[in-house]
Chain A
Amino acid sequence: MKKKLISILMSTAMISSILTGCGSSTSASGTAAANTEAGNASETSETADAGAGKVYYLNFKPEADEAWQKLAKEYTEETGVPVTVVTAASGEYETTLQSEMAKSDAPTLFQVNGPVGLKNWADYCYDLSDSEIYKNLTSEDYALKNEDGGVAGVAYVIESYGIITNKALLEKAGYSTDDIKSFADLKKVAEDITARKDELGFAAFASTGMDSSSDWRFKTHLANLPIYFEYQDDGITSTEAIKGTYLDNYKNIFDLYINNSTCEPKELSAKTADDARNEFLDGKAVFYQNGSWEYSSLSEKYSDDELAMLPIYIGVGDEAKQGLCTGTENYWCVNAEASEDDINATLAFMNWCVTSDAGTKSMANDMGFTIPFKTAQESPNVFVQQDQANTEAGLTPVSWNFTTMPSEEWKNNLGSALTAYAAGTGSWDDVKAAFVDNWATEYSLANE
């Protein structure tokens, strides 16, 4: 009897040690996983009051990751509120958000890319109508409204894109930025540079990389232009079926890019975003289509005087009056499912970022953002300044209409079609089908 008792005791002791062993090891590996996921996430302060709430920001912009980590640390030092910033890999934001939101420690602050992105997350967006940050916006236009009129998100950065130009190289080729005022001018200059490529030692355009790290520059940003002009003609801001009025112009500019580039069109499918940037940094190309967010990496090599951004001319409308493509696809949303304390902590953090001295300075200088808030500081970003100068000179910025593209799937299809067209394995008709027919298909799928 005694023996049996001992064996029972022994076995329960064993089992309990196994169970507790399991328990502690899972929690340990859980935090380890969280830490590795966070990468170099800010150190969350251990001393913070447990009841004061915390902030978990899922950041969209890899290029601004470092600055966010620093800013989060500063905020924690100042207020004691723990702030975790996690950055999703390029092109993986929706996926990361999707899995993070299902966790018990979900992001309290996340972002959507506009009305189409909002559809996914509308149920999870805290109404910001009464928040300080909403009241600090310079314009109503920068708020993202729900169908019921609630404020689901606020834009926190305004960006511009166009054709980034290396002025020094352009001069070497015998031109200046003043010579390029229309698509015809651009074509003339680019083709002339290509003709003298061997003599000059550089090409007109950096590679039109169609790898997934880079293809958004064409399937999304460049595709914005025909959409913008079509919307302008029809006086609409979104549509369920695109007509593709200006697809020929889209073809012309895309042809110009791929035929006057650093590499053969056939090889574009494997070219990455880094390839294109490095070509531009190494002085192998004069033009590089990208946006103001590239300033921080380009300014390491080039001085402000050497860089300029030209509008993307596609030969439509009043080209003398065309400005850069300016807008936003970055809207901050607060997770309505988070606890009251966390929501308040998050609202305070957001407001601090865009109003405090440290916050606005970091956003302007370190991240190079122009933020649409009354307390914004001027950014040293030369592309942003150029956009302002353009607007003051009476040029009309091209708005960002790619936020109305029906789905990611639409963009991916268009990307595949463009890649095949560039390599010669597909035809322009496939691109047209991916652009026009697929828009209607995807729109109905997304809105059923």
Chain B
Amino acid sequence: MEKSVRRYWPIFVLPTLIAFTIGFLWPFVWGIYLSFCKFQTVNKVKFIGASNYLRVFSDNSFIHAFGFTALFTVVSTLTINILAFFIAMLLTRRIKGTNIFRTVFFMPNLIGGIVLGYIWQILLDCLLSMWGKPLLALDAKAGFMGLLILMSWQQIGYMMIIYIAGLQNVSPDLVEAAEIDGATPWQILTKVKIPMVMPSITICTFLTLTNSFKLFDQNLSLTGGEPAKASQMLALNIYETYYGRSGAQWKGIGQAKAVVFFLLVVVISLIQLRATRSKEVQA
């Protein structure tokens, strides 16, 4: 049996390979090609060379969206992970009702981004109008804070579950040994627990980093990029270039932006993976 598996592996790989090619590889290659073209629908395309890419970098709204996205990514990755780790620490202490708390914190993650965006828009707008402040659609700072609150609320629960799983895997022997050696709780946390949950930290920072960087639905529904594109993030900027603009030339530019965006995401997540992986330890 093992022998035949070894010999006929192509037949077993084939279905997945075909699905992967049709669903991912082909559209990806086609998408890169389209970024060098001028087209209205993908059935009729005209090759025009790299001029789309020149337009991407001379587009101020794209540069601004990049800055906004980068800032948001940094702030939200830090907030979400620190808070999620903190809650995970609390909820691994055998407090009464731990399971209820875990469920409650996890639940926001089950609601879709668009719905959350609209719900939080109503909530935050009510609050802002009570305080007599300009509404979300008028104040980029409020929009930024709103996005941060929304994303934290949605993602902390999910990351918390991963951290809890990591913390529960820290062997009590190690903690006990540290205690006997006279380590303070702070030392146990920084010298034993955190190095031991480094794999969880890797996966959580990766998830929050890429999620924040690629954020689209929450951005679309919460602020829609208002005021005047000041709270527009990269994904929304690409969408608006491709779909919001009329004229064949914009499709290729949108496509080129998407390719640049893809490269950015890949580079950033590779750097992050390498940085956190190097800190992982074996016990």
Contact = CB atoms under 8 A, between A and B. Distances in A.
A18 B243 CA distance: 37
Nearest to B19: A22
Contact of B246 (A22, A407, A413, A419): A407
A425 B227 CA distance: 10
B228 interface: yes
Contacts of B1: 7
B246 A116 contact: yes
B40 A121 contact: yes
A139 interface: no
A419 B249 CA distance: 29
Interface stretch (B63-71, B108-116, B132-140): B132-140
B245 A409 contact: yes
Q: Report, as a range, how many residues of chain B touch the other chain.
A: 35 or more
A98 interface: yes
Contacts of A117: 246
B243 A95 contact: yes
A412 interface: yes
Interface string A437-448: 000000001101
Contacts of B41: 98, 101-102, 124
Interface in A174-205: none
Interface stretch (B8-16, B155-163, B260-268): B8-16
Contact of B43 (A102, A407, A416): A102
Contacts of A445: 247
Contacts of A426: 227
B19 A409 contact: no
Contacts, number: 97
B138 A423 contact: yes
Contacts of A446: 246-247
B246 A416 contact: no
Contacts of B121: 270
Interface string B121-159: 100010001001011111100000000000000000000
A4 to B, nearest CB: 6
Interface in A1-41: 4, 7-8, 11-12, 15, 18-19, 22
B153 to A, nearest CB: 20
A105 to B, nearest CB: 13
A266 B134 contact: yes
A124 B246 contact: no
Nearest to A407: B246
B138 A269 contact: yes
A7 B5 CA distance: 10
Contact of B125 (A7, A120, A270, A448): A270
A101 B227 CA distance: 32
Contacts of B4: 4, 7-8
A253 B99 CA distance: 59
Given A11-B11, A119-B246, A407-B246, A270 B134 contact: no
12 contacts: A8-B4, A15-B15, A18-B15, A95-B243, A101-B40, A120-B247, A123-B40, A124-B40, A269-B138, A269-B226, A407-B245, A420-B227
